[in-house]
Structure 1
Amino acid sequence: MDRQPGWSVRLKLTLSYAAVIMLSGGMLLAVVWVFLLRYVPAVMRTPTPGSGPHWPAGPDRAALVSAFAPKAAAMLVFLLFFGLVGGWILAGSMLSPLTRITNATRLAANGSLSHRVHLEGRQDEFRELADAFDTMLERLEAHDAEQQRFAANASHELRTPLAITQTLLDVARNDKDGDTGELIDRLRYVNTRAIDLTEALLLLSRANQRAFTRGHVDLSLAAEEATETLLALAEKHGVALETSGDQAPTIGSHALLLQMATNLVHNAIVHNLPEQGTVWVRTSVEPGNVVLTVENTGEKVTPQALSTLTEPFQRGSQRIRTDHAGVGLGLAIVKSIAQAHDGSLTLTPRAAGGLIVTVKLPVAPLDQ
């Protein structure tokens, strides 16, 4: 936005300080002058012989004015000079933290998110502003790095099915006598995987942007619907599903929360023991939050692998079954949906192997 040039804040503060000092000095001189006038007559009378007691003769009002006015004017000039110089120095000292914050803002606007203000001194308004600005820069830098990582990974993941498709088509063109049915099946599989990946990316973007309509949702019903939908998959993998819990009312998007529960149960099924695995799905209510917990048996998860499971396209080799690799966005989508609903996601490895995933969302107000 183009703005007309104006006075700097430092100059405004300087003039304000000088004006306050001038006003205070003028009022003080006025008070002194008023009190002097009360005891000085306009014309000093000479006492006559034989009169009663009297005060010693002194100067009259005209003489007092001629003596007082030049000194008062000189004092006002001194106060004006002192107010301007002192105000300029004092305003500069007080605004120096703001200058550092402004410089950091310009650097951030030019793309340098690594710069920090790091304002020294005790806590005051400027320190709070600087600390809040540093916190914002840290989050922006982390978000920017995450977006760059995500873009690079997404490009790589989307390029893979396209490259496979290109290879299959080249082979089919060079081999005129090849099995067309097998080629079509492979192309269909690759295309389906590309569609799943694209839909997952769109869902992740939608959750990150919080572009959804909020309404009353019972998280326990969403979890129950997700388990019923995936019951056939659980039977195929030999995994037992156990659900329990109370009503868990919250506010959000039913479609996104259902997708979140579905992803959690799906991950728990496909990343389980080769046989006789179990998945426990529980909902509960605690002060201020509703809780969805999905626990599954499986291989032990190392702390190093645990820290990367919610990153996009991080699959963790120890938790991947050979017959279902997924697109690597399951827990990343869950995390984004939880954060979009002002909630949190916690991953905890089970001592016997497997994972405990806990999602906490704000409980719906009683008047909702």
Structure 2
Amino acid sequence: MLHRDRTEKSRLTVFHLVQPVEGGVARVVTDLVRAQIRAGVRPVVACPPGGPLAAEAAAAGATVRPWTAERSPGPSLAREVLTASRLIQDARPHVVHAHSAKAGLAGRLAVRGRVPTVFQPHAWSFDAVQGREARLALGWERYGTRWSTRTLCVSDSERRAGEAAGIRARWTVIRNGIDLARFPDDAEGRRRTEARTVLAAGTGAPPPGGTGAPLVVCVGRLCRQKGQDVLLAAWPAVARAVPGARLALVGDGPDAASLGAAAPPGVLLAGPRDDVRPWLYAADAVVLPSRWEGMALAPLEAMACGRPVVLTDVSGARESLPPGEEDHLVVPPEDPAALAAALVRLLLDDRLRTRAARRAAAHVRASFDVRRTAGAVLGLYQELLSTHRPLTRKRTQR
């Protein structure tokens, strides 16, 4: 037993501190955990209990610890920092990896550079708020970077946005990846009818309009960031130009009720789905009208399935797409007219849609394999361990 305990402690231990327990951040962490287990690393995940992340990380092999934390800073911050500090001390990690703004805030305050610390914003916090809150968030990011051994961005555009905001960080860019085995290429559309039949048969809500209608799918948390309200504003123009076209919003979130009340005819709120693949394969096009991102996973998954995507011009969008596709598949954020025009063009032009689907599938398979992403992250940890010096000042001996 003693030998086993010593062996366990000698393994590279990575402590993942995470606040979001669903969506893209949770999937990124779970994918990293799987890869780290395969590489012989000991991952510890501290996150709020009750969401999908805790169960999925545990199933993947991580040691999971409850860390109750609100999404936004508030009166609970001191408790959150203290709890994070205790969990980190107990785990004795070689590296701390803090995911998203809240974990980045609490984790860096708890560690303050004593352990190599990777901060991964997963989109910048100051983009999510306005006015005084945005100024405070930006001020913290500028200050907190002193305790980030490395700031890990998932796209070059996310890094450039941080630099433009005055964040003087030690940067690394490692693009997001997906598990390509879960998303077989269907650029030729063979799975489309099957997926629609399965959805219509009752394993999920049927696509509105039946199995033959043009179908656009939006997968993402129903919240201001993902911009589904802009998509709903654009949809009447799409419906007029493409008779019979239907739209499905797949996901859940704080804006579900307001989006449901605002949804025009021909729009279905499909709710949360454990497996979104049937919806991706059923789609003629996939859209993500985000207001901000780092690099979204849903478009990568859609393209791996062989589905063309329309994206707003936020961080990571252009880097997700095959070179040369940006002009007609990327539109300005918060521009319903431009969004509608891009969707109409894609739905009405079979040749454009087929070409975009084939190029998208090939591009994602060549560039966004999660195994490559996870290997690069592990390489980053090893680099930091070989060069780390505590970032806090030591007292002078007297």
Which structure has the highest helix share of the two?
Answer: 1
**Superposition TM-score, scaled by structure 1 size:** 0.24
- Using CA pairs under 8 Å that are at least 6 residues apart, name the structure with larger relative contact order, 1 or 2: 2
- Which structure has the larger Rg over C-alpha atoms? 1
